[in-house]
Structure 1
Amino acid sequence: MTSNPNTFEYALNHNEIDDFFRGKGRYFVRSPDYFGHVHGANISGQVCRFVGESDENGEIFEQAFLTYMTGLDVTGEELSHLLANLSSYFAEKNRGRMAGVNLFSSHDSPTALLLQRYLAALDHAGLYDAAKPELEIHASYIEKLGSDVVFACMREVEKAC
């Protein structure tokens, strides 16, 4: 019996990381509750399985996530994908399923700085205020899981205004 292919690994090997994190094409997992993509299914299933296979896979995932964040467009839709991925990541990290992955190890980690720059770009584009309720929902959830990184990035952006 062969195991199901890991779609995260497939995305890595086919330069489709952006599609994976956005839930496009083969990476779309339909929610039973609404018509959108369930980001958590890809993170909890595919990414956690990949990360659990070897110590070096955690670093590979970190690099892939940094690459994804670097390529984000400044839109509300992109922000929604990012926040859903972040919430899913922190949920799995809290469950102990992301051993060896430290995307947001501090407020000045590369991923935290990218998040802060992205939020500043949203502000510069005039989209931050409209996005703030969604940001606060995810930031509160992530804070309950043990990280205040989203709130810290929001404070930095708001302080710069």
Structure 2
Amino acid sequence: MVINLFEVSIGKNESNSFFRGEKNYFVKTPDFEQHNHGANFGGHVESFLRMSNTNAKIFDRVFIDFLESLEITKNDLTHFMANLSAFFALKSRGRLVGSMLFKSSKSIESRLVKSYLIEISNSDFYQSEKDRLYLHANFISRNGNDILLKTLREIDGCDIGK
């Protein structure tokens, strides 16, 4: 039987470690010594959602918990962007069965994303991370959700219609 690391992380109350690629949840990218967030999402999360109709509610809750746990650091910003990019890439392809996250701009997870970006914009490293943020925001927008792009444009005082 194949072990699902996402399911293991939930059972051990380590889902935040899973999303950050900590401990035994680290999956090395082929080219760099970094965690491959997309592989964890596309493998373990996707198969967890397919196991049971009730698993989507569990996933949605622990993903919200992850968003609530984010700190204003470059490291957490990296995990934030990579997990959101992986989420929206898979969601746009119909691969995150049952997840109801980001259905509304007023949802708790949407509000958490906006408030985190606002906090990041007030950090001393926002300017140095801005290009990377816009890269992820544009990718996410092409995959069906413009929450990051709109929020970044609001923060930067850009015309929303661009």
Spell out the pairing of 1:115-154 with structure 2 (5 A cutoff): 115-154=113-152
Alignment of 1:40-55 (within 5 A): 40-55=38-53
Alignment correspondent of 1:158: 156
Contact 1:112–1:153 (CA<8 Å) still a contact in 2?
A: no
Q: Unmatched 5+ residue regions in structure 2?
A: 158-162
Q: Distance in 2 between matches of 1:42 and 1:130?
A: 27
Of the structure 1 ranges 128-137 and 112-121, higher mean CA displacement relative to structure 2 is found in 128-137
1:27 alignment partner, one of 25, 28, 36: 25
Partner amino acid, structure 1, of 2:130: K
C-alpha separation between the residues in 2 aligned to 1:112 and 1:134?
Answer: 20
- Does the CA contact (< 8 Å) of 1:116 and 1:157 recur in 2? no
What is the RMSD computed on CA atoms of the aligned residues?
Answer: 1.2
Aligned residue number for residue 57 of structure 1: 55
In the TM superposition, residue 54 of structure 1 has moved relative to its aligned partner by 1.6
Distance 2:125 2:107 in 1: 24
TM-score with structure 1 length normalisation? 0.92
Alpha-carbon shift at residue 112 of structure 1 (Å): 1.1
Distance change >3 Å, CA 148–CA 14, structure 1 → 2: same
Q: What are the superposed Cα offsets for residues 11-69 of structure 1, whole Å, 9 maximum, x if unpaired? A: 01111111100001100001111110100111000000001112211111010000011
Displacement of 1:147 in angstroms is 1.2
Alpha-carbon distance, 1:126 to partner: 2.9
**Identity of matched residues, %:** 38
Structure 1: which 5+ residue stretches go unaligned? Answer: none
Paired amino acid for 2:16: D
Counterpart check, 1:91 vs 2:89: yes
- Number of aligned residues: 157
Answer with 117-126 or 86-95: which moved more.
117-126
Amino acid in the other structure paired with 2:144: G
1:106-117 equivalence runs, <5 A = 106-117=104-115
Instruction: Classify 1:158/1:108 alpha carbon distance in 2 versus 1 (closer, same or farther; 3 Å).
Output: farther
Matched residue of 1:104: which SS?
Answer: coil
Given that 1:107 and 1:152 are in contact with CA atoms closer than 8 Å, whether structure 2 keeps it comes out as no
1:38 aligns with 2:63: no
Which residue of structure 1 lines up, in the alignment, with residue 67 of structure 2? 69
Find the counterpart in structure 1 of residue 160 from structure 2. none
Aligned partner of residue 54 in structure 2, secondary structure: helix
Q: Which moved more, 1:29-38 or 1:123-132?
A: 123-132
3-state DSSP of counterpart to 2:43: helix
CA drift of 1:103 comes to: 1.4
What is aligned with 1:6?
4
- Normalising by structure 2, we get a TM-score of 0.92
Contact 2:46 2:97 in 1 (8 A): no
* Cα offset, 1:107, TM superposition: 1.6
